[in-house]
Amino acid sequence: MKNDPKYQNGALLFLRLVLAAIFIVAGYAKLPLWNGPIEGMSETMLLLMKFISIVEPLGAIALIAGFLTKWASLGLAIIMVGAIFILQFTMQTGFSTATGAGWNFPLMLLAGCAILMAFGAGKWAIDSKRK
């Protein structure tokens, strides 16, 4: 099958919107941490999670608009590398578990971010107008 760039812009837009929705929900889920730490959570981890609760939605908004997409994707990819590291080495969660996802879901998000870093936002984005 020949590479057909006709669908590339739509596919990149779809990828941006799906990733953005996931990161907005993830950031929203961390908002209760602003009321205080969870039992057993260190002060450093609480500060990091508060920072991520701001950065994830901002990165998601950038993806939706297609603004600084490669940089936003890089930032979100770094967060996913951290999430995989914590799941694998701190929490000792496997790739998948009998009761649900392991670090396979963050790996998929990392792959999506890598695709956007490699190919950019596509034609239907603010980035395409800035060149």
3-state helix, strand, coil in the chain (%, to 5): 75, 0, 25
- What phi and psi, each to the nearest 5 degrees, are found at residue 101? -70, 150
Element (H, E) at 82: helix 69-85
**Amino acid identity of 20?**
A
Q: Which two tokens stand for residue 62?
A: 């950038």
Q: Does position 30 have pLDDT exceeding 70, yes or no? A: yes
**Pairwise CA distance, residues 11 & 112, whole Å:** 11
What distance in Å separates the CA atoms of residue 30 and residue 47, rounded to the nearest whole number?
11
For the chain, what is the mean pLDDT?
90
Q: Is the pLDDT of residue 72 over 90?
A: yes
**pLDDT tens digit string along 76-129?**
999 999 999 988 887 778 787 777 777 889 999 999 999 999 999 999 999 988
- Between 41 and 58, where is the model more confident? 58
Task: Tell me the range of 13-22, 34-43, 87-96 where mean pLDDT is highest.
Answer: 13-22
pLDDT band for position 60 (cuts 50, 70, 90)? very high
Instruction: Return the half-sphere exposure (C-beta side, CA atoms, 13 A cut-off) of residue 95.
Output: 1
pLDDT at 1: 46
Question: How far apart, in Å, do the first and last CA atoms of the chain sit?
Answer: 31
pLDDT of 3: 64
For residues 91 and 97, give the distance between their C-alpha atoms in angstroms, rounded to a whole number: 12
